[in-house]
Amino acid sequence: MADSILQVENLVKHYGNVQAVRGVSFHVDEGEVFGLLGPNGAGKTSTVEMLEGLRTRDSGRISVCGLDPQENPGRLKHEIGAALQSTSLPDKIRVMEALRLFSSFYKRHRDPEELLKRFGLVEKRNAFYNQLSGGQKQRLALAMALVNDPQVLFFDEPTSGLDPQVRREIYDIVEELKREKKTIVMTTHYIEEAERLCDRVAIIDHGQVIALGSPRELKDRSGDKTRVEVRLTKPDSPDVLKNLEGVTECRELNGIYILQAQRPPQAIVSLVKHLEIHGNELLGLEILTPSLEDVFIELTGRRLRD
């Protein structure tokens, strides 16, 4: 941890009587893509804003590029880049003007022409900001985050609100930065985003880190269990269903029965027999391989987006 480019120890933040961040600790190594995964309101954005120096912490310790964001905000801004959850620019600023303006804020900066090419904005160089699509605005935000050639990049919900095609375009950009060994800290509430992009993930809920590790390590916590999600015509008892052959655990979430099964074929056969005996029927059945969603459900008893 001593060699980490970013260190967080026992970070705490209150808003009035609400404790938004409750003793969060983690570290990020140079060249790592680190994800803060959790539902809206979990404390992810508050944590990142304290790392960026945009908010003051109540207690705890932060070191980013060897600097304390609270004590050295002026020096830190030259070492980090950020794409916030929402980026707002004047409607009538042109794309190239925005890049040149942001370049002027830093002692070290990259060629705006190169950034236009890299983010597919060459044809939009003279377009006004309010003429850009949502995906183009986000690509511009990412380009501006890179304008000072930062040591650490912060992406707060980089694909939130974007359609699936644009989301995949942003994934490609992040993966390219990952191949270049850029250090990235990103927040997300998309399971597939964290699994695809992150080297390690901290799962955050109610302001606390409840699990930490690589996506593979976290998924291994579910062992070899497959998730079987079932909808029924009539309610049933999770306690009864978890005792079916091949089933190791069962939870009911919003009318869906989530069965953990180490032997899915036997679990499905025993489920169908059980339903026939009790005059119940399947409305739907989905078989899913273990994911970070399973880890979150096991730890909290609810889905990530509930």
Q: Per residue in 123-135, pLDDT tens?
A: 999 999 999 998 9
Q: What is the CATH number of domain 224-289?
A: 3.30.70.100
Task: State the CB neighbour count (10 A cutoff) for residue 55.
Answer: 19
Tell me which of 44-53, 216-225, 245-254 is least confident: 216-225
Q: What is the pLDDT of residue 3?
A: 73
pTM assigned to the model: 0.84
Find the mean pLDDT for residues 247-266: 91
- At 34-72, the pLDDT tens digits run 999 998 889 999 999 999 999 999 999 999 999 999 999
CATH value of 6-218 in 3.40.50.10070, 1.20.1250.20, 3.40.50.300, 3.30.465.10: 3.40.50.300
Q: What is the pLDDT of residue 298?
A: 79
Of the pLDDT bands very low, low, confident and very high (cuts 50, 70, 90), residue 222 is low
Give the residue extent of every domain in the chain: 6-218, 224-289
Find the mean pLDDT for residues 12-34: 96
